[in-house]
Amino acid sequence: MSETTIAIVGSGPIGSAYARVLLESLPDARVVMFEAGPQITERPGESVRNIADPDEKARARERSQGPQSGAFRDALGIPATAVVEGMFTARQGTHLFDFGGEGSAHASSFPAAAGATNVGGQGSHWTCAIPRPAFSEKLDFIDDDEWEDLVSTAEDLLHKQSAAFSDSPVGAAIRTLLDREFGAELPEGYGVSTLPVAGDPQPDGTMRWAGADTVLGPLIEPGTGTAARFELRDLHLVRRIAHDGTHVRGLVVEDLRTREESFVEADAVVVAADAFRSPQLLWASGIRPAPLGRYLTEHHVVISTVALDGERMSALVSDDELEAELARRATNPADPVAAVNRIPFSEPGHPYSAQIMYAENPPFPLDASHPAFENRWGYVNMGFGVRKFPRVEDGVTFSDDELDYRGLPNFTIDYSLDADEEREIAEATERLRRAGDALGTFIAEPRLLPFGSSLHFMGTMRAGTDAETSVADPYSRVWGFDNLVVGGNALIPTANTMNPTLTSVAIAVRGARHLAQELGARG
Ligand code: FAD
């Protein structure tokens, strides 16, 4: 090989952040990115929420659902009925790991665990909320100045908007009502506010939501210098990392169109294939440090839906303002979220992350006889994120005897709560009740979603300073290897209540800068 080649496994926001930073830092390098799923949008990695045509959007989501999509689902004999209460594919565009057919993972204690298999990964289906971690959620091995630089770079890569929908009068009224209820209990700077999101506001007031395409940026603009050095191969499943125990030589890759296997030589490998499938690939490749798959966390989610109270809302929003807001939203009926508010995590008083989404319609059909049917003021969907403390007992284990539907070592997830975690869930439910009472009338009672529903899986390849309790060093290199780097939410070692992608992109920026330095020094 004359030039430096970096192979990346997974095309979600994290693999894309690596590709972008590496190619912009190393003028002679090339990046080859392998993605097991298909390209589902014309622009690689774009959010499916930007697709206006409902049929096209549904098709893109279906094609992302790996073993739970169309013909593949039928071939595996998976029933086309609910697997977990109220859910078939967990969320549209994703597929359950424990899907119940041949080669399904075993996750009865974490039943809603799911992934997406498509160019852009889950980043083609995400809600785009990108809050910063705070207090004990932050990583203690990165100092504040460097963190500020990393997280701002990550916000730029994701096109952060802190002001999305902030001009919505209904959104502002919701904040006022919540502030009256909670404001006095919250520390300065951590009060009721708008939720930062990733995307670009359009002149008509709608959003173009960010996906991996946003992170890749110039790499997918034909004619740019970096685009010439970037190659994305969809429907290519990475089966094994070839290595000698300390140094990686390349990847064994199967082209899923032809079923042919080939070896791709690489100077460095980045694995960003989600919090279950990345450790699975390491395990399949004989890279099995003791903490691999351990310390699994998510944030538990307590949700409910409330019909906004007309009397309280009309005291804060005029009829004209409401009509103007409804007219604006009518321009984009395919994307019904209209304002996104939050109460962020703070310690010690509010160790929860609350998201309050205003929408014109409830997320489920209401009977015409329901008092809140066609509520003129609309509805809010509320979710309180509750933390899970990392424990070595919670995690994923891999089998040497049983293969999954892709022919990789099958996995089993074991997960349980302790008394402190149960208590925080109960307290969050109580606060959700207060928030709902402050805003209107419950049309869906608060309930805890099945474990795994957050889709924010962390800890299974945690980064840290101690090889006994972490898989990766502070620069995301797998301990003991000089050119194997891992990325994704799996690296987050703390107990988090917030949406983790921004943090994972920031960690990836650090890992990519360090890898670029090392590869540059090696010439
Ligand atoms: P992914 O995006 O999961 O991408 C991994 C890719 O690796 C997949 O495409 C997969 O097919 C591929 N892959 C796996 N194994 C292999 C292999 N062996 N060979 C080749 N390719 C492989 N996060 C937030 O921060 N805020 C939110 O508001 C938010 N909302 C969400 C809403 C939904 C409905 C969903 C589904 C997710 C949401 N998330 C949110 C989570 C967010 O999407 C993820 O944190 C993010 O996509 C993780 O990026 P990633 O690149 O690490 O992994």
Q: Report the distance separating Cα 513 and Cα 140, nearest Å.
A: 19
- Cα 369 to ligand 1 centroid, rounded to whole Å: 40
Instruction: List the structure tokens of 168.
Output: 């919505």
- Structure confidence at residue 332 (pLDDT): 66
The reply to whether ipTM tops 0.95 is: yes
- Structure confidence at residue 1 (pLDDT): 46
Which is it for strands 193-194 and 337-343: parallel, antiparallel or unpaired? antiparallel
- Structure confidence at residue 154 (pLDDT): 98
Closest CA to 117 of 24, 230, 11, 270: 11
- Cα 246 to ligand 1 centroid, rounded to whole Å: 28
How many other C-beta atoms lie within 10 A of the C-beta of residue 365?
9
Give DSSP secondary structure letters for 43-77: STT--GGG--SHHHHHHHHHHT-GGGSHHHHHHTT
- Mutation probe of ligand 1 site: the residue of 40, 64, 501, 504 with most atoms within 8 A of C-beta: 501
Amino acid at 431: R
Give DSSP secondary structure letters for 389-433: ---TTSEEEEEEEEE-TTSSEEEEEE----HHHHHHHHHHHHHHH
| Residues ≥6 apart with Cβ < 8 Å to 181 | 434, 435, 438
- Distinct helix (H) and strand (E) counts, the chain: 11, 21
| Residue bearing tokens 């109580």 | 430
Cα–Cα separations (whole angstroms), residue 420 to 3, 10, 153, 346: 53, 36, 35, 17
Q: Report the distance separating Cα 457 and Cα 129, nearest Å.
A: 16
Q: Report the distance separating Cα 340 and Cα 161, nearest Å.
A: 12
Which atom of ligand 1 is nearest the CA belonging to 272?
52
| Residues 458 and 470 sit within 8 Å (Cβ to Cβ) | no
SS3 523: coil
| Residues 360 and 378 sit within 8 Å (Cβ to Cβ) | yes
- Structure confidence at residue 231 (pLDDT): 98
Closest CA to 427 of 341, 494, 349, 498: 349
- Cα 404 to ligand 1 centroid, rounded to whole Å: 19
- Mutation probe of ligand 1 site: the residue of 126, 130, 235 with most atoms within 8 A of C-beta: 126
Instruction: List the structure tokens of 20.
Output: 């972008």
Largest Cα separation within the chain, whole Å, is 72
**Tens-of-pLDDT digits for all 523 residues of the chain?**
458 999 999 999 999 999 999 999 999 999 999 999 999 999 999 999 999 899 999 999 999 998 888 766 666 666 554 445 445 567 889 999 998 888 999 999 999 999 999 999 999 999 999 999 999 999 999 999 999 999 999 999 999 997 666 678 999 999 999 999 999 999 999 999 999 999 998 887 778 999 999 999 999 999 988 999 999 999 999 999 999 999 999 999 999 999 999 999 999 999 999 999 999 999 999 999 999 999 999 999 999 999 999 999 999 999 999 998 888 777 766 665 567 899 999 999 999 999 999 988 888 888 899 989 999 999 999 999 999 999 999 999 999 999 999 999 999 999 999 999 999 999 999 999 999 999 999 999 999 999 999 999 999 999 999 999 999 999 999 999 999 999 999 999 999 999 999 999 999 999 999 999 999 988 7
Q: Report the distance separating Cα 497 and Cα 427, nearest Å.
A: 14
Instruction: List the structure tokens of 210.
Output: 């960010």
Is the shortest distance between the CB of 37 and ligand 1 below 6 Å? yes
Is the shortest distance between the CB of 235 and ligand 1 below 6 Å? no
Nearest residue (by CA) to ligand 1, atom 8, is: 121
| Residues 342 and 186 sit within 8 Å (Cβ to Cβ) | no
269: DSSP letter: E
Instruction: List the structure tokens of 389.
Output: 């403390």
Residue ranges of E strands in 35-171: 95-96, 114-115, 160-161
H or E stretch covering 486 = strand 484-486
| Residue bearing tokens 């004990």 | 136
Q: Report the distance separating Cα 497 and Cα 140, nearest Å.
A: 17
Is the shortest distance between the CB of 455 and ligand 1 below 6 Å? yes
Q: Report the distance separating Cα 315 and Cα 343, nearest Å.
A: 23
Is the shortest distance between the CB of 154 and ligand 1 below 6 Å? no
- Cα 434 to ligand 1 centroid, rounded to whole Å: 33
SS3 2: coil
| Residues 479 and 473 sit within 8 Å (Cβ to Cβ) | yes
- Structure confidence at residue 98 (pLDDT): 92
- Cα 508 to ligand 1 centroid, rounded to whole Å: 14
